[in-house]
Structure formats: structure tokens, C-alpha cells
Structure 1
Amino acid sequence: MPAVMTLKNVVIGAMFGFAATGYGIASAHASVTTAPDNHLLSTLKYVELEAEQGDKNMQLFLGRAYIEGSNGLKADPLKGMYWLKKAADDTPAVQAMIGDLFKNGRGLPRDNQKAIEWYTKAANEGSVPAMVELGHFYASGGGTGKTDCANAIKWFNDASNAGSMDSKRNLVWLYATCSDKEQRDGERALKLAKQIIKRSASNDAGDYDNLAAAYAACGEFNDAVKAQQVALSKLEGKDNQRITKFSKRLELYKQNQTIYSASL
């Protein structure tokens, strides 16, 4: 038994120098003498046995190794997904990771629909990063070019309730500018925008840009102009692209016009 435990410790220590940091799985660091390339092929049957018996660490490691073609293994997406699916069972962080792989086309074909399926699984089990990804996906048009404000708001709201301040900011913009009249809500946008600035003692130009859009959505154009001028002052000439964008919005507010664009 001591020999088996030593082998397992060596394998885990070796493999998690690269593996699951950020995905909610225990991690360790490998020394040069326990580098995965030196051990995995000789212990592959043991690793697979542990994985088949339900060891999430081993499942995740094998999945990543086969997907990436690393640690002495030849890339094999089918085997990689076999193990990742096992590791993902009841593990939203791994579900979100699979979504990332499909979204970015890393080791797997880029596939937005499969990315969304995995992000949705993860989000439904409480993964805040997956909620944020879904919010951005629907706000950006999800590959269809047509913004889905209802779903974008739903997921950003869930992420916001779970503590994501950036998602709360995205909600302000969506409520203030969404082209879908049923989803646009200037009063709610204004309330959220003021909360963000008050609670965070914000000095961020983007927060005042959002505040201005919220004022405009409520028809309060004088306040929108003032807030947009503050937003511009906080850029301090550092970002010409944003200065141009903010300046165009300022001119709209001066003409008592609102913005109808959910693009984040």
C-alpha cells in the first residue's frame, strides 16, 4: 500500500502543475524529477484505473492531457471528452471549462452551440463565470447577429446576485439601451447605476458613461449630458477610441436622443 500511495502522489503532484487551477479541483506543484512526461506513460494504466473508479482529479487530468496532446499523450479529442465528461459530472467548474474549450477552439472544434450547452449546465449549477459568459453571448447576438436582451439580462442578473459587479454594470447598459422595448427599463438602469457609483465610490469613466445612458433612457437629458461630461473627464486623454465613442454619445444627449444598442 505505501508504494501505491507514493505512486499516486507522484502522479497527482506531476500532473497538477498544469491542470485544474481555477476550476475548483485540488492542485499541487511538480518538481523536475516528477515531471509528467517522465511518469505518465509508465503509469497510464494506473491513472486510468483510478479515473474509472471515480477519481475526479485523474479524470480531469486525462481529459486535459488527451485534449491538449500533452504529458506524453497523443492528442485524442474523443478520449479527452470521454474523461472530461466524467470529471464534469456534478462539477460546474469543469463544465464551464469545457464551455471555454468549445468557445475558444482549443483542442476541440470551435462550436458556439456546444459552448452554450456546457455553460448553461455550469450556470444552472451555480458557476458565476458561466453565467457571465452566457450574458455576453446573448448580448453580443450569439453568433446570429441578433441581440437577445431577455436572456442576456437573465444571466447577468443571476451573476450580479452572486456578486459579479461587472455583471451589474452590464445590466445598467442593457436596461438603458436595449433595442427590445419590453426589456428596456430606464428607471431600473438609473437605480443600478447610482448604486454602483455610491457603493464602489467609483472613479471609473465607464460607470459614468452608464449613468449617462440611464439618465437618457429616462428622458433626463440635462443630467445625461453632465454625467457624460464627467465620463469624458475621467478618460484624461488616455483612450482615443473611447473618447470618440463617449463624445458621440454626448452629442446625442445634447440633442435629446437616447441610445438603442445593447452592444457591451
Structure 2
Amino acid sequence: MKSIGQFLMCSSVLSLVLLSLPSLAFPTPQPKEEKVASKIAFIQVKAEQGEVEAQYLYGLLLMSGRIIEKNTYLGMKWLVAAAEHNHKKAQRFIADLSFDGKLVARDLKLAEKWYLTQNTQWSHFRLGFIYAAGGDGVERHCGKAIKQFLMAADELSKSNAVWVMATCPDAKYRNGKRAIELGQQLYQSNPTSPTVIDNLAAAYAENGEFKTAIELQTKAIAFSASQRKDNLSSGLKQRLASYQKHQPVREVIALP
């Protein structure tokens, strides 16, 4: 598989050969724009010939629109061609584009397809959100979401798993005791994190321990205020009010 450096080198060689033809008695330096155009043309030709790396690179060029005219439809076509030949970067790029929904319309089913080929911390993290939220042809499944968050294994993902275990609308996937155990581990290493404390409070509420949930939620609100995390304030206070009424939280995670 050729790298971009190899493609550009080949293109430079091609340019030198053209300049050395007998018809050009006095070759002149090729303008920068023409050099760039010839390199892009070379990448396009190699992509059309089935070179996987070229398909990926040409797809990126079309998606970005920085050097050639932007065409997201064709860009995705070439990225998919590379992804179907097991190009890992193309697979992740398509998954990220489909999940984010910025350059192309959000498509969770397509994102799921390509994240499932990755087996990385990032792909497990994103799959956790896809299954927790559902939509676009993907069924919401808290069990799968918890599994993916735990497979990601970083603290943020584990904290998300605690939240899903505590708040999932589907009772069969809720597990207050397990959520408390994992949430306590995270709390020990993140004793001032409003989010970690918020999630742990939800776990205690799910387990019917509302006194502890109220104490923790009050701490989460205080830390949020001292850390100026105003975006968390409203939700934290709403959940505190629920715990004071002895009501656990039921929520579907929203996609970021």
C-alpha cells in the first residue's frame, strides 16, 4: 500500500518525465497550481485503479474542499470504497462523520456499522452513546450501551455506564447495586467531579437510598457552582428535587 509521500513522489517523477520529452526543447518550471493539479490527478487515477490508500486520500480531498471543489457525495463514495477494503482510517472517518452529522446527515446505522469494525476505546465509547440513545435505524438497547461503555474502560465511559445502569427506562437493564459499586470506585478517584457524583447519586436513588442520593446531589451542585460549570446546574437541581420526592431518575442519554 502506497503512502501519500509515495504518491507525491511518483507524481513528481511523472512531471519530470513529461518535461524531458523532445517536444519541450526549453522546459520551464511548472507553476505551483499545475503541480498540485497533477498530483491530485495522479491520486484520482490511482483511486480509480483500485489503490486503497488513494481512495482514502481522494475521499478526504473531496470532503474537505480545501484544494479541490468540495463534493461530500463523491467523497463518501471513495471513503466507503477504501473502508470496504479494510482501511481503518477510512472506517473511523466514515463512522465519525455519520455520528457527528455535520458534514453529512447523521446516520447512526452507518456509524454503528463502521465502529463495530474498529475495536478501539473510541469506537466502544461512541457505540455506547449510539445504543443508549438509539435512532436512525438503531434500536435503543441499554444492555449493549453498558457493555460498550465498559469495554471502552476509561473513567468517562465507566461513569456513563453507571448512569445507564441507574436511569435506563428499561427495568431489566437497571442495576442499582452494580452502579453503586462502580460509581464508588470512580468517586474515590474523582471526589470533586460534579458528573461522577451526580451519576453516583442516581445509582443510590435507583437502589432506594434517597438520603444518600440527596447528600451526594447536594455536593454535586456545590462543586458545580465552585467550578463554574453553569451548564450542569439546572439538571443537577432537577434531579435533587426528584430525590427529595423519593423519585429515581429515568432518562435516555442524548447524543452529544
TM-score (normalised: structure 2): 0.75
Contact persistence 1:105–1:111 (CA under 8 A): yes
Aligned residues: 230
SS at match of 1:231: helix
2:233 is equivalent to residue 233 of structure 1:
no
Q: Which residue of 1 aligns with 2:210?
A: 221
Name which of 39, 42, 47 aligns with 1:46.
42
Contact persistence 1:190–1:211 (CA under 8 A): yes
Query: How much has 1:263 moved relative to structure 2?
Result: 2.5
Contact persistence 2:205–2:243 (CA under 8 A): yes
Structure 1 residues 75 and 140: alpha-carbon distance in aligned structure 2, compared to 1, 3 A threshold? same
1:1-264 superposed matches below 5 A? 7-8=8-9, 39-48=35-44, 51=47, 52=49, 54=51, 56=53, 58-73=54-69, 75=71, 77-78=73-74, 80-86=76-82, 89-105=85-101, 108-122=104-118, 126-143=119-136, 147-160=140-153, 164-198=154-188, 200-236=189-225, 238-263=228-253
Distance, in Å, in 1 between the alignment partners of 2:246 and 2:78 is 57
Contact persistence 1:95–1:119 (CA under 8 A): yes
Contact persistence 2:59–2:75 (CA under 8 A): yes
Structure 1 residues 167 and 79: alpha-carbon distance in aligned structure 2, compared to 1, 3 A threshold? closer
Distance, in Å, in 2 between the alignment partners of 1:147 and 1:137 is 8
Structure 1 residues 73 and 203: alpha-carbon distance in aligned structure 2, compared to 1, 3 A threshold? same
TM-score (normalised: structure 1): 0.73
Distance, in Å, in 2 between the alignment partners of 1:65 and 1:92 is 17
Distance, in Å, in 2 between the alignment partners of 1:132 and 1:41 is 39
Structure 1 residues 54 and 206: alpha-carbon distance in aligned structure 2, compared to 1, 3 A threshold? same
Q: CA RMSD in A?
A: 3.2
Structure 1 residues 93 and 131: alpha-carbon distance in aligned structure 2, compared to 1, 3 A threshold? farther
Larger radius of gyration: 2
Tell me which amino acid in the other structure corresponds to 1:61: L
Gaps spanning 5+ residues in structure 1: where?
A: 12-35
